[in-house]
């Protein structure tokens, strides 16, 4: 949920801090003296690095899975809305007109109001009243033929799916990684990068490149987790295209 500018600043700050830490260690504890402890430092880095890599990989997989699930749920919600609009064609005239108008109003509310509100971290409520009216409209339909009875059954099924997907979307818009897990990720990154800086190497250039690459990788993965963590906020978020497409289809 960070901007691209903030992402770049965080990466630059992380790399700069890592390089400064390595420089300070070289001044306070010269590499010649640290070199004798490389076996112990290497063992420590191996344990820390492996443990942290597992945690980092698991968290990235978890947030990406949640992001994919949220994206799929949005598409299913928009699909249910389009289906409901088409099914309304077979309902009695009054219910058909009301339900189609409500379906268009629902799409407009999601695109124009709820998406910006979710993008700012708010819990949207614009489509709630429209959804309630949809239920009243469908339940008030009195079928005069077998085809209208079938249409009413399908409309209830699609409306149930629409309501369920809406509820899931609102829940997903407020979900995030608990603070304790962020604490583990950040502290683990600091410990692992610090252990990398402790190595005693005769080539300061090679050591600097290793620290640079390691801190760059860790910061990029952490930022990826942060950006994907909130699927409806930040620079990386789920597009409203599915509902815009639904708007277009219903207005054609």
The per-residue b/e assignment along 92-131, b for 16 or more CB within 10 angstroms, e otherwise, is beebbebbbbbbbbbbbbbbeebbeebbeeeebeebeebb
Query: Residue 135 is encoded by which pair of tokens?
Result: 């239920």
For residue 27, give its domain range: 4-251
| Cα 118 to Cα 65: distance, rounded to the nearest angstrom | 20
- Residue 6, judged by CB atoms within 10 A of its CB (0-12, 13-18, 19+), counts as middle
At residue 200, the pLDDT reads 67
At residue 76, the pLDDT reads 97
At residue 176, the pLDDT reads 86
What's the domain count of the chain?
Answer: 1
- The one-character DSSP state at 236 is S
At residue 202, the pLDDT reads 66
At residue 172, the pLDDT reads 93
Contact 41, 199 (CB under 8 A): yes
In this prediction, the residues of the chain whose per-residue pLDDT falls under 50 are none
């Amino acid at each position: 949920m960070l901007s691209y500018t903030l992402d770049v600043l965080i990466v630059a700050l992380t790399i700069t801090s890592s390089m400064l830490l390595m420089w300070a260690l070289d001044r306070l504890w010269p590499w010649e003296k640290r070199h004798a402890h490389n076996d112990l430092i290497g063992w420590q880095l191996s344990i820390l690095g492996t443990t942290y890599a597992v945690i980092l990989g698991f968290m990235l997989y978890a947030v990406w899975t949640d992001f994919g699930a949220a994206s799929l749920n949005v598409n299913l919600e928009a699909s249910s809305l389009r289906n409901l609009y088409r099914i309304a064609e077979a309902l009695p005239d009054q219910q058909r007109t009301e339900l189609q108008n409500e379906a268009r109003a629902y799409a407009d509310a999601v695109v124009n109001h709820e998406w910006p509100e979710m993008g700012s971290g708010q819990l949207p409520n614009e489509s709630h009243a429209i959804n309630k009216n949809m239920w009243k409209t469908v339940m008030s339909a009195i079928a005069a033929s077998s085809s209208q009875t079938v249409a009413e059954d399908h409309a209830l099924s699609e409306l149930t799916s629409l309501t369920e997907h809406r509820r899931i979307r609102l829940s997903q818009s407020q979900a995030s990684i608990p603070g304790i897990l962020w604490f583990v990720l950040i502290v683990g990154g600091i410990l692992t990068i610090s252990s990398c800086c402790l190595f005693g190497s005769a080539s300061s250039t090679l050591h600097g490149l290793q620290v640079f690459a390691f801190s760059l990788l860790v910061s990029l993965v952490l930022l990826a987790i942060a950006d994907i963590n909130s699927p409806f906020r930040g620079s990386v978020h789920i597009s409203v295209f599915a509902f815009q497409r639904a708007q277009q289809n219903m207005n054609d």
